[in-house]
Amino acid sequence: MKRLIFILPLLLLLASCYDQERNCADFKTGKFKSEYSTGGKTFTSTFERTNDFEIANVNGKTDTTAIRWINDCEYIGTKANPKNMQEKKAVNIKMLTTKGNSYTFEFSLVGDTQKQKGTVTKID
């Protein structure tokens, strides 16, 4: 029992030192390649992001999204030319971790609790 009293604080101290890298500002603008899975399918796209817009190429189609940054690691995206009610819904995107030239992210429709995850690699 005495050992547990000494070991438990040590383990908590070591666990609190673990910190994920989050250099989100490095990924606010540039050219990227994205990969994510949803509904059992994996999707890959390329896109270019400025401070205000994301221009994506998905399956040979170009799509523009207006973005509003909440902080360096999170933004809200709204399609510039939505074609239906589903596309009118805003998407919340949050960078979770960064490593080298890539980051992991999660996204969901604003207000939705179901989140999807993916990875993005900076290509320029």
pLDDT value of residue 43 = 82
Q: What is the average pLDDT value for the chain, to the nearest integer?
A: 86
Q: Would you list the domain boundaries of the chain?
A: 21-122
**pLDDT tens for each residue of 57-76:** 877 889 999 999 999 999 99
Give the H/E segment covering residue 6.
helix 2-17
**pTM, two decimal places:** 0.78
Residue that is written with structure tokens 């989100």 in the block: 24
Strand pairing report for 74-79 and 91-99: antiparallel
Q: What b/e string do you get for 9-18 counting C-beta neighbours within 10 Å, with b at 16 or more? A: eeeeeeeeee
pLDDT level of residue 104 (50, 70, 90 thresholds):
very high
Q: Which residue has the higher pLDDT, 17 or 95?
A: 95
Please, what CATH class does the domain formed by 21-122 belong to? mainly beta
Residue 99 tokens read as 């490593």
